[in-house]
Amino acid sequence: MARIYLDHAAALPVDYRVFEFAKPYLTTLHGNPSSLHSVGVEAKQAVEESRQKIAKFIHAENESTIIFTGSATEANNLAVKGTALRNITSGKTVVASAIEHMSVLNPMKELQKNGFSFTTIPVDSTGIVDLNKLEDMLTKTTTLTSVMYANNEIGTVEPIREISNIVREKGMYLHVDAVAAAGRIPIDVQKDGIDLLTLSSNDLYGPQGAGALYVKPGVRLQSVLLGGGQERGLRSGTENVFAIAGMGEAARIVQEEITQESSRLIPIRDTLINEILKIEQSYLTGHPTQRLPHHASFRFSSIEGESILLNMDMYDIQVSTGSACSSKTLEPSHVLLAIGLKHEEAHGSMVLTLGRSTTMDNVEPVSKATYETVQRLRKLSPLDQEWRK
């Protein structure tokens, strides 16, 4: 059986069109954007053209709002720590949803060492932020609130515009991690009322090694990585021109194809969900309808997610069992615990994220492999034997 890759939330292949576009910046157009000679000017031009493409992709006010970083994790750190520390005289409170990526939660926890107060907003059983609790938590000393556009583990899409309205009325700045959502659903930072927004190159089918942070005009931010003063002094370090040029071209392509690709993936996603839920004691995680078009996530009673992943890989089908950034800890997902699952329930998760290579022909072999995997693992599980008594 041919390989079926369903872990696009962890890593995507670089689109061949993107690679061909950016390849010269690995070879002939290899200049440093800070150099004043012609080769450096060419590299600088590539960075600025990419900045324009990213700004257009998210409907930003202008290209100067885009700050390039080395990754989405770095962009999240810059957003959280840079905003909180720059606005420390206005307040020392930061807030995030309970299901944020660890590159948001851990920087906020670190801010507590500097005297900040950090609280998390609860979510319901589908992962939707509790808007009433959010409103109660915020005060004028809340310098930053961070809520992701959509969750990478359960696929739930948050009501960002409603959240923005609350933050504007009760707090200061809203940061949105859009890594999982960008390229899957349209994003308009101005209409959505977003102050800071994080993007990842590879999650747009661009090269790894580049991320971006949108910073709304007027938002006060300070650098957390000091050096030569690149990127308006907010992110020092020589720019990765190949990755940045590729990110911009990837965003341009995604913007042209997003409607068609999402419409293609939704029926595949829904068919996969319907087939896999026929398995006894299987459950969908995340919101049943308010979810990303390429995302299907499940939990199965009495078995471990790591075992599911390894067994599915024996069929040459690659899946995930939570966030790729934290899956090696063998700890239950904080996202699944936040939506109310018990520890033993949170361990039995499987996440399928579809991509451009996914077709309806993949549904039958994936569903069959999942059924056989679950049955095999349950026969070995003392928990399953206990449940059947």
Higher pLDDT, 17 or 38: 17
pLDDT in the model for residue 389: 47
Q: Are residues 244 and 302 in the same domain?
A: no
Q: Do the beta carbons of residue 109 and residue 159 sit within 8 Å?
A: no
Q: For position 347, which CATH number holds?
A: 3.90.1150.10
Q: How confident is the model at residue 328 (pLDDT cuts 50, 70, 90)?
A: low
Could you report the per-residue pLDDT of 55-76, keeping only the tens digit for each?
Answer: 999 999 999 999 999 999 999 9
Among the candidates 192, 220, 253, a domain finishes at 253
Known active-site residue 203: no
pLDDT digits (tens, 9 = 90+) for 208-257: 999 999 999 999 999 888 888 888 878 888 889 999 999 999 999 999 99
Residue-wise pLDDT tens digits, 3-31: 999 999 999 999 999 999 999 999 988 88
Q: In Å, how far are 62, 191, 195, 213, 245 from 51, measured between CA atoms?
A: 9, 20, 17, 11, 9
Do 263 and 143 share a structural domain? no
Binned at pLDDT 50, 70 and 90, residue 85 comes out as very high
Radius of gyration for the chain, computed over Cα atoms and rounded to the nearest angstrom = 21
Q: Which residue, of 253, 277, 293, is where some domain finishes? A: 253
Residue 323 confidence (pLDDT): 47
Q: Identify whether residues 203 and 324 lie together within a single domain.
A: no
* Same domain, yes or no: 245 and 115: yes
Segment 123-141 mean pLDDT: 96
Query: Are both 363 and 287 inside the same structural domain?
Result: yes
| Averaged pLDDT of the chain | 93
C-alpha span between 278 and 375 (Å, rounded): 13
Select the more confidently predicted residue: 271 or 140: 271
Do 98 and 24 lie in one domain? The reply is yes
Of the residues 29, 325, 337, 383, only one is catalytic, namely 325
Q: Which two tokens stand for residue 131?
A: 């808007």
Question: Count of H helices and E strands in the chain?
Answer: 13, 12
Q: 3-class SS at 320?
A: strand
CATH at 206: 3.40.640.10
Co-location of 197 and 310 in the same domain: no
- CA-nearest of 199, 186, 81, 89 to 144 is 81
Same domain, 265 and 380: yes
pLDDT class of 345 with cuts at 50, 70, 90: confident
Q: Record the pTM.
A: 0.94
More confident: 34 or 205: 205
Domains of the chain: total? 2
Looking at the chain, the whole-number percentage of residues with pLDDT higher than 70 is 95
- Quote the domain boundaries for residue 284: 4-11+258-388
